Structure 1
Amino acid sequence: MRILVVGAGALGGYFGACLARSGRDVDFLVRPARAELLRERGLRVRDLDGSVASTPVSTVTADRLGADYDLVVLAVKSYALDAAIKDLAPAVGPRTVVVPFLNGMRHVEVLVERFGADRVYGGVGLVQARLGEEGEVERVGDLAELVYGPLCDTPVQPLERVHAALDGAGFAATATGEILRRMWEKWVFLATMGACTCLMRGPIGPINRAPGGAEFTSAMTAEAVAIATAAGHAPGEKFMDWARSVISDPRSDASPTLYWDLTHGNPVEADHIVGDLVRRARELGVPAPLFSLAHTHLSVYSATRDA
């Protein structure tokens, strides 16, 4: 199966490097400058022990794409989605399936409208990594898993074939028939962690130790769960037991990428992770004052950063 990885950032770079090292037929769709860097140095991944592995990878730019890929792994930030779709569209043929690993849910609607439900999977990417100053992928935790599944009963590539292409490449690969539930669960967790840490400007532990902090993180969690439940995607009990234990932990120094980007002056996925949740809450008539506040806060940051 021919695989096109769109985006060689933290998520796409890490999982794409694993696929390339395992001998899969993988091309990376990147900008010309990134393609040149990857040709010169390979795709570099810094592991938890500080060691750096450089993997030679095949790159392609948008002007040289053809519709001869079976699987497109889409791993870009949400604010780059429109440009990525424009670039990757020539690669999507009649037997190509696009598997996005973005946060939130808005991108699914956009991709289905553009390519059709039979050529789009749902996906959840879980990796503790970030992109270093010199373009290398830096692992900051052990978590590394891709979860994926079709959005309709008749996908152009069956789940068994997609799973065979992604499994056994050095990370956990999970095929599921309940991908929408898994995506909503991640969204509830990530949005709650992101809104809490960005509003309070600190990791989750110090927030919970502060006066009123535990009540705040609990209320934020309740809002997210209420929105997901009203949308018909109530998180599972087992998942929420785990999520609440993380979000309420007073000893944890955990914080999501949204907080990292905010505190390092980077663009943030405010609209996709927090804003879209607020929009759905309003449409469903679910009160979400804390998430609305977080969205306003992040929107002000984005406006002043771009000014």
Structure 2
Amino acid sequence: MRIGIIGAGALGGTFAALLERSGHDVEVTARGAGLEAIREGGIRLSGGYGDAHVHPAAAERLTVRPDLALVCTKAQDAAAAIVANGAVIDGVPVVVVQNGLDGVATAERLLPRSACMGMLSIIAANYTEPGSVRVTTTAASYLGRGDGAPDDEVRRVASLISAAVPVVAVSNFRGAQWTKLVVNMLNAVPAIVGRSVQDVVDDPALRRVVAASMRECVRVGIARGIRFGSLQGLGDRRLRAFARLPLGLAQVLPWSMRVRMGSVPNLGSTQQSLRRGQPTEVDFLNGAVVREAEAAGIDAPVNRALTALVHEVEEAGAPLPAERVVAVLHEVGAD
């Protein structure tokens, strides 16, 4: 099958390597040094899924109409990337592999003739060198759309991709997006202080801030009437119980996630963007919690503060002292 992958970063590069290794004809889009590296030396994958060295076709835009398209850009780049490739992919099944809550809706608006669906990936991969991806944590990805059961097209695409990397067709995809948003609360604090996720969660004071952002995210979801989807052992019942915990006990959630990561440093996608000198997608992660809280008529002070600190790091080009993060809970009265 001909598969087009828009955005060959950490996840896009991982899927490109695994799908081509499985025998598919893959074309990827990239820009700048990433595009040059792929054209000259292909994509080198290492880590959890083994080693692979593939040479997909690469350009700034897809040049050939694919049978299936994966949009793997950062959330803030999705609309522009879809528009740039719209003439080639409109009418083709499209999978949006993205953090945040808006990706599928954006694709549906811009590609009215396509069957659009979303995929939530828990794979952790480091992409700090053009053309090279190292998978630090393997995991199944979750494919779906809407609030109901997976339809025939979702199941077909999940089966197709699963031949290369595990994908599960899930019900209540919107709820699963919220569960993934809770998981993505692991991103901001490591990005602010310039340390790995493991280091941050191992630090009791920083772990407390991460737990507070997660608990606040769940509480906002509840206020918005969300029924959380099942993802990586998390689900509606467990997250609702977590939302009621005092902050000292709530730290068990980030700790349990850290245990699954193993010892290979996980930088998180937000920090990787900072290290490449690129804008982060914090406005679609912690910032999404703030917007959803406003829509529910409540406040999300922890995530508002963390969003501001990530933007401060973007502007300064250097991490901030851990004390700045630890002070957040006191400043917003969340101790």
Report the TM-score when normalising by structure 1: 0.81
Tell me, yes or no, if structure 1 residue 160 matches structure 2 residue 155. yes
Displacement of 1:222 in angstroms is 1.6
Measure the CA separation in 2 of the matches of 1:78 and 1:178.
21
What is the total number of aligned residue pairs between the two structures?
298
1:208-253 Cα distance to aligned partner (Å, 9 max, x none): 6656555544332220101112223243585065996451469867
Q: How does 1:1-307 map to 2 (within 5 A)?
A: 1-31=1-31, 34-47=34-47, 52-62=51-61, 65-66=63-64, 68-94=65-91, 96-116=92-112, 119-139=115-135, 141-151=136-146, 158-169=153-164, 171-190=165-184, 192-198=185-191, 202-203=195-196, 215-235=208-228, 238-239=233-234, 245-248=252-255, 256-262=268-274, 265-305=277-317
> Alpha carbons of 1:32 and 1:261: their partners in 2 closer, same or farther (altered >3 Å)?
closer
Bigger mean CA offset, 171-180 vs 295-304: 295-304
Bigger mean CA offset, 207-216 vs 263-272: 207-216
Measure the CA separation in 2 of the matches of 1:89 and 1:250.
37
Measure the CA separation in 2 of the matches of 1:235 and 1:203.
27
Measure the CA separation in 2 of the matches of 1:117 and 1:187.
28
Name the aligned partner's letter for residue 16 of structure 1.
A
Helix, strand or coil: the match of 1:158?
Answer: helix
> Alpha carbons of 1:202 and 1:246: their partners in 2 closer, same or farther (altered >3 Å)?
farther
Displacement of 1:200 in angstroms is 5.7
Name the aligned partner's letter for residue 225 of structure 2.
G
**Aligned residues of 1:44 and 1:55 also touching (Cα < 8 A):** yes
Name the aligned partner's letter for residue 174 of structure 1.
V
**Aligned residues of 2:67 and 2:93 also touching (Cα < 8 A):** yes
Structure 1 unmatched runs, 5+ = none
Alpha-carbon RMSD across the aligned residues, in angstroms, is 3.5
Structure 2 unmatched runs, 5+ = 243-250, 260-264, 318-335
Helix, strand or coil: the match of 1:239?
Answer: coil
Measure the CA separation in 1 of the matches of 2:179 and 2:302.
19
Measure the CA separation in 1 of the matches of 2:22 and 2:169.
19
Helix, strand or coil: the match of 1:28?
Answer: strand
Helix, strand or coil: the match of 2:99?
Answer: coil
**Aligned residues of 1:204 and 1:250 also touching (Cα < 8 A):** no
> Alpha carbons of 1:173 and 1:292: their partners in 2 closer, same or farther (altered >3 Å)?
same
Bigger mean CA offset, 203-212 vs 4-13: 203-212
**Aligned residues of 2:6 and 2:71 also touching (Cα < 8 A):** yes
> Alpha carbons of 1:261 and 1:270: their partners in 2 closer, same or farther (altered >3 Å)?
same
> Alpha carbons of 1:227 and 1:185: their partners in 2 closer, same or farther (altered >3 Å)?
same
Measure the CA separation in 1 of the matches of 2:169 and 2:190.
31
Measure the CA separation in 1 of the matches of 2:295 and 2:254.
26
Displacement of 1:61 in angstroms is 4.2
1:103-139 Cα distance to aligned partner (Å, 9 max, x none): 1112333222212396210211222211132421122
Measure the CA separation in 2 of the matches of 1:107 and 1:120.
10
> Alpha carbons of 1:208 and 1:79: their partners in 2 closer, same or farther (altered >3 Å)?
closer
**Aligned residues of 1:226 and 1:286 also touching (Cα < 8 A):** no
Measure the CA separation in 2 of the matches of 1:255 and 1:134.
16
1:36-63 Cα distance to aligned partner (Å, 9 max, x none): 53243222112369x853112233442x
Bigger mean CA offset, 293-302 vs 192-201: 192-201
How many percent of aligned residue pairs carry the same amino acid? 25
Bigger mean CA offset, 264-273 vs 294-303: 264-273
Measure the CA separation in 2 of the matches of 1:211 and 1:147.
31
Report the TM-score when normalising by structure 2: 0.75
